[in-house]
Amino acid sequence: MLIKNPNIMLRSFTKTLALVLFATATFTACKKNHDDDSLAITKENLVATYTLSSMKMKGTNYPEADVTSQFYDACERDDQTVLKSDGTMSYVDAGTKCSSAGDYTSTWSISGSKITIDGDEYTVKSLTKGQLVYEVSSTYSGQTVTVTYTYSRK
């Protein structure tokens, strides 16, 4: 097909290009930025109810592995840890009850990125609106073992 007026073709191309650029800008601008979910590691931001999602372990000579089911029975994996603003912590045997209920109360505190729960100190790796990740490392016989806990926020 022969186009008699090249300006018509140029206008058509320009309109198509503008439409494609507009659509691209619209769809990429609507992408959710998960970085916005990050929270500062403060006492106020840590106050929440948490449920264990995973426990991972890695060592000097072995790769990271999910060991949740090896350390926690199914009846424990739905339990809740409640960090309260007064520095108390409640562990609630929620969901499926274990044969001996594990409910108890203790304390927690935060100093920088170090959180102390029930007397044990951990390093907070990340805190978002949806989860808390902290870890602890220990060295045994020259081998460093790091345990990373991931909790879902309620």
pLDDT tens column, 67-126:
999 999 888 889 999 999 999 999 998 888 888 777 899 999 999 999 999 899 999 999
Q: Quick check: is 93 in a domain?
A: yes
Domain limits at 25?
Answer: 6-31
Q: What percent of the chain has pLDDT over 70?
A: 76
**Distance from C-alpha of 133 to C-alpha of 148, rounded to nearest angstrom:** 7
Query: Same domain for 20 and 64?
Result: no
User: In 3-state terms, what secondary structure has residue 146?
Assistant: strand
Q: Quick check: is 140 in a domain?
A: yes
Q: Which amino acid is at 51?
A: T
How many domains does the chain divide into?
2
Q: Quick check: is 1 in a domain?
A: no
Query: Phi/psi at 60 (nearest 5 deg)?
Result: -55, -40
User: Does residue 13 have a pLDDT over 70?
Assistant: no
Four-point Cα dihedral 112, 40, 76, 71, nearest 10: -50
Please give the span between the terminal C-alpha atoms of the chain, in angstroms, as a whole number: 64
- Evaluate whether 131 touches 53 at the Cβ level (below 8 Å): yes
**Distance from C-alpha of 140 to C-alpha of 23, rounded to nearest angstrom:** 57
Query: Same domain for 112 and 50?
Result: yes
Query: Same domain for 112 and 44?
Result: yes
Query: Same domain for 15 and 62?
Result: no
Query: Same domain for 74 and 106?
Result: yes
Q: Quick check: is 84 in a domain?
A: yes
Query: Same domain for 21 and 81?
Result: no
